[in-house]
Structure 1
Amino acid sequence: MWLAADDDTQIYILGTMHALPPGTDWDRGKVARAVDRADELVLELAPDQLAEAGKEFQQLAPRQVPLAMAERLPPAALAAYRAFEAGGGAFDADALDDWAVMVLMGQRAAEQAALSPAAGVEAGLTARFQAAGKPVAGLETAHSQLMLFETLDPATQRALLTRAAEDAGSAVADIRALTGAWRRGDTATLEALINEDVDAVPAARKAVITDRNRAWSHWILRRMASPGTVLVAVGAGHLVGKDGVPALLESEGLTVTRVQ
């Protein structure tokens, strides 16, 4: 967690995991104090938009013309994909866009790693703020978030899917390593794990990471003009590295301090 502050505004920026093992204790110490002090919570998606995500996925994910996975993936990647799919039932992937298959694979890997969105940071924060009668807002909509993937060019989507398939055998271990680094507050390991995935597909990194980080940092800079205390909670991968939100804010002349 980082803090950006001036004379009358405090904005805490908390790196989250969207899904966690049930019972994970994340809201202690300075995080708990920031939750208590904040007048409002800002997430990637407000609760009403999160509720819309499933419907948006169903509308955007289908292909116009089905395409067999055997025609999309090279032999080694296809074999790894088939083995992963066999561990939990078919995805009906032939009828889905490449990005949608990748999303479903990520969700299944999280389930197999015993992670649950209901135990994630966003779910806990939303419950806390709503119980206290404090507003909960979002930086994006469900539609705009999924359109980030839908509008990736076909070659980039195929590269992402191929990489996900090739790495399917280690997906659960990779998620556990990412979660472990987050629990330790190990930003160097977080950055290395995230970069290993996205740096191989630069167009995806720009659309899914860098451009969003810039938009969110600009939102924070604008919000600094209004007094109050805000907790901004977004995926931890958006807060690390030279194009993470804290680094981008510092490049704009704002003092940002890591506090947890």
Structure 2
Amino acid sequence: MSFKKFVPFLVPVALLATPACAADKAAARPDLDPAVWVVKDKDTTIYLFGTVHALDGKKDWFNDEVKASFDKSDELVTEIIMPEKPEELQPLVMKYGIDLSGKTLPSKLSPQGQKNLSAAIAQSGLPATAFDYMKPFLASITLTTLQFQKMGMGPENGAEKVLTTAAKAANKKTSALETADYQLGLFGALPEAEQVRMLEKGLEESAEVPAKVGKLVDAWGKADTETVGRIMEADDADSELLHKVLITDRNANWATWISKRLDQPGTVFVAVGAGHLAGKDSVQSLLKAKGIASARVPHKE
């Protein structure tokens, strides 16, 4: 399925799904070393960390320069503030993700799309009518989330959850660049034809998801941002609209936020989806266009 649906934007809907099993924290875990960037002036330091929202918890990434940069920071800034109770998001899902017109989801799809949707629902174990009144984008994200869970990956092991838990334990301030309302609203505002295209493409490519996710997480864990960027851009190639709405426009907003935040003294750890910090439209590229330099935090063995 399209990486747009499960890497940068999965958190709000994923939190509504049945949690995957958490990893055994007592077991020794292989080490990962994802990249961290820094933006600074004379009295402000802003670390930029690209996250994966859903992980299996079997590898240790919260160490070395990631942990050191986090520990130096006074504040954690994420895309959204994750709710304490997933059910708190249900009103937003109803607001943006449910079609009240009476037109069912299958009726919006091509004959092949209908067959693929029926097969995916059957594999999920949910009732055949469970998706009837979902808007296509919500069905797409929900099916992707369920597939992630079958792979043992969930937001309870994702980077945001780990970082937020650590911030609370250290009494750090937490804030967000966006709200869940805003994020789900972006999807809800997409033209129906674009949502249908996104869903049908995802259904066609669902068998490729495990391999793609494995490749992406592997590149992320090796700080191989060039590969992350190539994966994201290849996945974006079929929809300029999705790339603009979900990547470029939001990155521009965040670059503006960072430029303004430099006016306030302090040290901040900003954690956003890894796809936002890779590729030609990355946050760092947009900062550079504003005359603001960013640099990789050196990795120490």
TM-score bracket relative to the smaller structure: over 0.9
Among candidates 10, 15, 25, match of residue 45 of structure 2: 10
User: 1:140 — aligned with what?
Assistant: 178
Contact 1:102 1:161 in 2 (8 A): yes
Where 1:95 maps in the other structure, the secondary structure is: coil
Structure 1 residue identity aligned to 2:94:
Q
> Structure 1 66/172 Cα, relative in aligned 2: closer, same or farther at 3 Å?
farther
Where 2:48 maps in the other structure, the secondary structure is: strand
> Structure 1 49/192 Cα, relative in aligned 2: closer, same or farther at 3 Å?
farther
Structure 1 residue identity aligned to 2:138:
A
Q: Deviations over 1:48-86 (max 9, x none)?
A: 498543431133211123444443333444433333322
Aligned partners of 1:191 and 1:102: how far apart in 2? 23
Where 1:185 maps in the other structure, the secondary structure is: coil
2:137 pairs with 1:83: no
> Structure 1 230/185 Cα, relative in aligned 2: closer, same or farther at 3 Å?
same
Aligned partners of 2:85 and 2:174: how far apart in 1? 12
Q: After alignment, is 26-35 or 63-72 more displaced? A: 63-72
User: 1:36 — aligned with what?
Assistant: 71
Q: Give the TM-score normalised by structure 1.
A: 0.93
Q: CA deviation at 1:218?
A: 0.5
Q: Deviations over 1:92-151 (max 9, x none)?
A: 222111111111022112112211211111111111111111111011111111000000
Q: CA deviation at 1:157?
A: 1.3
Q: Give the TM-score normalised by structure 2.
A: 0.81
Any residues of structure 2 matched to 1:111-130 within 5 Å, and which? Answer: 111-130=149-168
Q: CA deviation at 1:199?
A: 2.4
User: 2:205 — aligned with what?
Assistant: 167
Q: CA deviation at 1:206?
A: 0.8
Where 1:105 maps in the other structure, the secondary structure is: helix
Among candidates 270, 279, 282, match of residue 244 of structure 1: 282
Aligned partners of 2:66 and 2:237: how far apart in 1? 30
Q: CA deviation at 1:11?
A: 0.3
Where 2:270 maps in the other structure, the secondary structure is: strand
Q: After alignment, is 46-55 or 116-125 more displaced? A: 46-55
Contact 1:11 1:232 in 2 (8 A): yes
Aligned partners of 1:96 and 1:47: how far apart in 2? 23
> Structure 1 177/84 Cα, relative in aligned 2: closer, same or farther at 3 Å?
farther
User: 2:220 — aligned with what?
Assistant: 182
| 5+ long unaligned stretches in structure 2 | 1-35
Whichever structure has more helix as a proportion of its residues is 1
Q: After alignment, is 207-216 or 84-93 more displaced? A: 84-93
How many residue pairs get aligned? The number is 260
> Structure 1 81/189 Cα, relative in aligned 2: closer, same or farther at 3 Å?
farther
Q: CA deviation at 1:39?
A: 0.4
Aligned partners of 2:233 and 2:126: how far apart in 1? 29
User: 1:64 — aligned with what?
Assistant: 100
Structure 2 residue identity aligned to 1:83:
A
Q: CA deviation at 1:251?
A: 1.3
* Cα RMSD, aligned residues only: 1.9
| 5+ long unaligned stretches in structure 1 | none
Where 1:94 maps in the other structure, the secondary structure is: coil
Contact 1:113 1:176 in 2 (8 A): no
Aligned partners of 1:24 and 1:53: how far apart in 2? 29
Contact 1:43 1:137 in 2 (8 A): yes
Where 1:3 maps in the other structure, the secondary structure is: strand
Aligned partners of 1:256 and 1:243: how far apart in 2? 14
User: 2:264 — aligned with what?
Assistant: 226
> Structure 1 198/49 Cα, relative in aligned 2: closer, same or farther at 3 Å?
farther
Aligned partners of 1:150 and 1:120: how far apart in 2? 24
> Structure 1 54/194 Cα, relative in aligned 2: closer, same or farther at 3 Å?
farther
